Structure 1
Amino acid sequence: MFQFIKDLLLPSDDPTTAQTIVFVAAAITGGVLLGRLKVAKVGIGAAGVLFVGLLMGHLGYSLHTETMHYIRDFGLILFVYAVGLQVGPSFFASLKKDGLVMNGIAITAVFISFLVAWIIMRSTGTTAENMAGIMTGAVTNTPSLGAAKSVLKEVAAVKQGTYADPANGYAIAYPFGAVGEILLIILFMKIFKVKVKDEQQRFEEKRQKDYPHPSVVKCRVTNPNAFGKTLGELLNKESLKDVIVTRIKCSGTTKVSTPTADTVLKERDVLMLVGLPDDVDVVVTMLGRVSTDNFITSDEEIESRDITVTKNNATQKSLAQLNMESAYGVKVTRIFRGGMELIATRDFVVHMGDTLRVVGPVSELKNAEQFLGNSRHRLAEPELATIFVGIILGLILGSIPLAIPGLPVPVKLGIAAGPLLVAIFISRYGGVAHLHSYMNQSAAWFMRDFGIALFFAAVGINAGKTLYESFMANNGWMWLVYGMAITSIPVIFIALVGRLVFKINFLQIAGMIGGTYTSPPTLAFCNGYFKGDVPAQAYATVYPLVTIARILAAQLFILLFLQ
């Protein structure tokens, strides 16, 4: 009576598509539960799916070949695309000052891990495909494993050869790769005698200096040189054009209005100024002095309101193009995007999901709100068309062959780096044509975690069939030692060079290590241990370039050293 249930749940020599889906779902379910277990507040997260899949494969479960390839590759694409959407908006801004230094250190660490893997391979006689798997597992980089497997398949077709599955080495090296980074972070905290509160304070002081928050100051006009002149005349210098005058209270009255460039200043007028602190100080000195007038903020006819952009006709346009002052009689003073508060400069390009702080008459604010949208329901709907257009473009980019003399097959960005790059650019520029790229955090996290779970389940079950035999035949304990070396040496380099040479804040160094190893467990540890967003910012700063570098490194390792 229940034979059909046994057929669906038990291992089979020739599994159907339905069985494959059931097995993958079972691996994901067990892996998620395993990933939630923590030792000393550290868990393996999504990697739990890989280990449950390996166990299932060892117990005899297998997947329908074509379905397995689809699940594995599509899962990887979803994962890297979601990551690109998340880190894209802040990635280009991070390539300044500390960002360039951090990316330079991280890319050097990628080269060091490649060099250490090559030295071990040459010294021990380990095959290139196995060492590539150990290398990708030791640095906990899933996309590079996918790239290694993809290029290995192409080389096998050209050379008509049979090669070991890199996933075996990946699975053996991964556990220490995930835990070892955390242990080394703790070790260097002791070596450098790091005090978390002191590091946090130093970071905030430096951030305030490099990226000051907008300053809001009330100014009374007392300088005779400003009497009778328009705001346009006084603020026509390039350095002062981004200082915004949001309100004016005329002398001798309590009436507050929104000024324009043609507004003429009179003695003892009071202005509300918004801009970078240094620029605002210059304007206050030029016009008069700081005021303590309270009437300018008490007028009920003028209001400040935060409005979220949710209409397509207001996106991918600069504030100068939107011209809110002329169209609606209101002024945009600040923009909130990705947790950052930004000055509303005229050339700032508005994206879907940006929140604008708008000041003006209450009646005009309602019209501005209708124009901008301010619909939370609209943001809850992901733009599926943009996602799949981006995936198509990413696969086209990833399929472009880059022929290198002497290599059996061309190097490609592949199904991982191609979609990652496209997602970064699409999220940076707001979308494709009229299709916006905004995705709320819960949807992005779901897409990311769902994708990596599919990939780990397919890879784990498929590799689990030969993991034990491979471990015994190749002295798996030595593979573990090789992985420990590949994990540890670059981390030591990052910590020493970052701290001693470039004097980087240790909270950023910890995030750099997690980003260089693209390790969610390490990031989760840093977020919980340091209780702040500093490590996450450093993680996102180096993640994109490192991921691409590791994908290319894995391919080159196979192409250069495969016998």
Structure 2
Amino acid sequence: MDPLLALLVIISVGLALGKVSIRGISIGTSSILFVALLAGHLGIRIPSGLGTLGLALFVYCVGIAAGPTFFRGLASSARVMATLGAVMVASGVAVTWICAKLFSLPADIAAGLMSGALTSTPALGAASEAVAEPEHVAVAFGVAYPFGIAIIVLFVQVMLKQSRASEVAPESDSGNETSPRSQDEPNIQRLVVEIVNPGVVGKRPSEVAASADLPCQISRVYLNQRWRPIPYDYVFAHGDRVVLVGEQEEGQRVAQALGVLCDLQDVVLDGDRERKEVVVTSPEICGRTLKELRLRSRFGVTVTRVRRFDKGFVPSARTRIEFGDTLALVGEPADLLRVLKVVGHRPRTLNETDLLSLAIGLTIGLIVGQVSIELGGVSASLGTAGGPLCVGLILGHFRRIGFVTGTFPPAAQILMTEGGLALFLTDAGVQAGANVWAVLQQQGVVLCVAAIAIATVPLTAGYLMAIHVFGLSKLQSLGAACGGMTSTPGLAALTSSTDSSEPVTSYIAAYPVSLVLITIAAPLLVKLI
């Protein structure tokens, strides 16, 4: 078969299999590796060099995506989640090292097992760069990866069954006419609240801690016989009725702090003229919190929802706005026109990909990856995986350094990330396929036992630490555990069983730190063994 045609066939078949869902769980792009292993075993070949390019592109885009949250997670309230992620990665390295010594596993096999058990394809790439025979890394990854997915999903399901019914599945009030919710955003509700609490009368919404700190927004007030957008100088008055948009539990808490709930039947909103959706493209907006932007005090406009990729949520004052976010704005028509110019709603800008910045960033990353550092008499380098990852993290955090930008349109970023990963997995799998049967015959049972241990110990350690050391709730702990394992299937199993936003928040806080640390730890493990 023609090598280029073989490449496309392997990717196509792998992606098709990755879409197959069993009990709501699918393995996605990683299924390409298993198809490539079979192709390599059958003697099929693909063009050389594409795997290295795909790896560099993949980890660079991972760094760009993780940059905005990675460094902030180390220096904010998310430090607890970041610590959990670091502990889970460290325990994964420790268990892998013990298994390697106990079962006399070579470094390349051990690194592949850890990458697969922790379901980390960036770690697979970094480990492949650090060994002489990267095909063994891919074989071990292919053995351990299914165990990594199965164990985290089973763990989540077992823990959820042991939870209290109220914690696992909060009672839905979707039938309550005071709490209508969007079908696309089932956890977001709209409430009408009458202001009766003397403690908030005379204050601005931003001066009330409950409404400022929680993911809720007060968008309208009933004045002059109509529901008007909240003006920039509005203060609460006794008897005012306001529209509150918030997530389920937080919205109820804010409503109780302000006053009493009212009936929604008489609410008629001018959504066509007083509500607009805008896509963030302005560099002056990106990376800043709503508190810093002061859109209400400057323009009389309220951000009621943020849609990031395919997730919609209600922001708080501490929410940072990212490039490509879609903001739902409520305000008077003239005020909306003014704020649109500041936010930068230009569809062409949103769809533009700065190829020059991409090329320069990748070039710098590859150069950084080739720099050797002496550590205890051992020469080490970041390699093709570590160099672009670090440069991507820095550019993603600062957004722009000189004329080099660290942002991409969401669709372009997903395409480059998934495309780079597909190229790398195909190349790694085809190269490893020639040896997969021999490795499994020699060490198949040992690899399975080690994979189970490597997946189970970090998961259990992180969960118990979250519960008993940091005092997190069960849902928060499970979310952090999924993030520490970089397991999207685990998060999917968790979110399918609860409407709470706690697991997603914990997952987002722990995931970037674990993703970066496991990528760095994989080549270090090779040196240790």
TM-score range, shorter chain: 0.7 to 0.9
Q: Is the 8 A contact 1:332 1:356 kept in 2?
A: no
1:373-522 → structure 2 map (5 Å cutoff): 373-376=344-347, 378-407=349-378, 409-412=379-382, 414-432=383-401, 435=405, 437-440=407-410, 442-472=411-441, 474-522=442-490
Give the C-alpha shift of residue 180 in structure 1: 2.2
Secondary structure of 2:377's counterpart equals coil
Letter in 2 for 1:124: F
The reply on whether 1:104 has 2:83 as its aligned counterpart is: yes
Distance 2:470 2:481 in 1: 15
Distance 2:292 2:455 in 1: 50
Q: Which residue of 2 aligns with 1:559?
A: 527
Letter in 1 for 2:451: G
Q: Is the 8 A contact 1:417 1:547 kept in 2?
A: no
Q: Deviations over 1:24-67 (max 9, x none)?
A: 21211221232233444433322221111111111111334xx2
Q: Which residue of 2 aligns with 1:180?
A: 151
Q: Which residue of 2 aligns with 1:4?
A: none
Q: Which residue of 1 aligns with 2:126?
A: 147
Distance 1:531 1:258 in 2: 29
**Counterpart pick for 1:166 among 137, 152, 158:** 137
Q: Which moved more, 1:418-427 or 1:138-147?
A: 418-427
1:64-143 → structure 2 map (5 Å cutoff): 64=47, 67=48, 70-91=49-70, 94-95=73-74, 99-143=78-122
Larger Rg: 1
Q: Is the 8 A contact 1:352 1:436 kept in 2?
A: no
Q: Is the 8 A contact 1:303 1:361 kept in 2?
A: yes
1:261-410 → structure 2 map (5 Å cutoff): 304-310=274-280, 312=282, 315=285, 330-331=300-301, 336=306, 338=308, 339-342=312-315, 352-354=323-325, 362-370=333-341, 372-376=343-347, 378-407=349-378, 409-410=379-380
TM, length-normalised to structure 2: 0.74
Give the C-alpha shift of residue 491 in structure 1: 1.8
1:204-219 → structure 2 map (5 Å cutoff): none
RMSD, matched Cα: 5.1
Distance 1:483 1:115 in 2: 13
Distance 2:464 2:296 in 1: 52
Q: Which residue of 2 aligns with 1:5?
A: none
Distance 1:400 1:75 in 2: 21
Structure 1 residues 336 and 39 mapped into 2: Cα distance closer, same or farther (>3 Å)?
A: closer
Secondary structure of 1:403's counterpart equals strand
Distance 1:483 1:94 in 2: 29
Structure 1 residues 112 and 436 mapped into 2: Cα distance closer, same or farther (>3 Å)?
A: closer
Q: Deviations over 1:120-139 (max 9, x none)?
A: 22223222222222222222
Give the C-alpha shift of residue 462 in structure 1: 0.6
Q: Which residue of 1 aligns with 2:180?
A: none
Letter in 2 for 1:54: L
The reply on whether 1:33 has 2:3 as its aligned counterpart is: no
Q: Deviations over 1:398-417 (max 9, x none)?
A: 4444321221x2242x3334
Q: Is the 8 A contact 1:54 1:464 kept in 2?
A: yes
Q: Is the 8 A contact 1:71 1:458 kept in 2?
A: yes
Q: Is the 8 A contact 1:199 1:506 kept in 2?
A: no
Structure 1 residues 306 and 433 mapped into 2: Cα distance closer, same or farther (>3 Å)?
A: farther
Distance 2:425 2:206 in 1: 58
Distance 1:337 1:471 in 2: 45
Give the C-alpha shift of residue 92 in structure 1: 5.2
Q: Which residue of 1 aligns with 2:177?
A: none
Q: Deviations over 1:292-324 (max 9, x none)?
A: 9xxxx9999x97444525554754597899897
Q: Deviations over 1:492-512 (max 9, x none)?
A: 222322234433333333333
Q: Which moved more, 1:111-120 or 1:536-545?
A: 536-545
Q: Which residue of 1 aligns with 2:6?
A: 23
Give the C-alpha shift of residue 164 in structure 1: 7.1
Structure 1 residues 324 and 98 mapped into 2: Cα distance closer, same or farther (>3 Å)?
A: closer
Secondary structure of 1:457's counterpart equals helix
Secondary structure of 1:402's counterpart equals strand
Letter in 1 for 2:306: F
5+ residue gaps, structure 1, are: 1-8, 10-18, 154-161, 203-211
TM, length-normalised to structure 1: 0.70
Structure 1 residues 377 and 475 mapped into 2: Cα distance closer, same or farther (>3 Å)?
A: same
Give the C-alpha shift of residue 547 in structure 1: 2.1
Q: Deviations over 1:162-214 (max 9, x none)?
A: 78732222222222122222223333445xx1246524549xxxxxxxxx999
1:516-535 → structure 2 map (5 Å cutoff): 516-530=484-498, 534-535=502-503
Give the C-alpha shift of residue 119 in structure 1: 1.8
Q: Is the 8 A contact 2:143 2:447 kept in 1?
A: yes
Distance 1:389 1:417 in 2: 16
Distance 1:27 1:317 in 2: 39
Structure 1 residues 390 and 482 mapped into 2: Cα distance closer, same or farther (>3 Å)?
A: same
Letter in 2 for 1:541: A
Distance 2:487 2:238 in 1: 59
Distance 2:166 2:77 in 1: 21
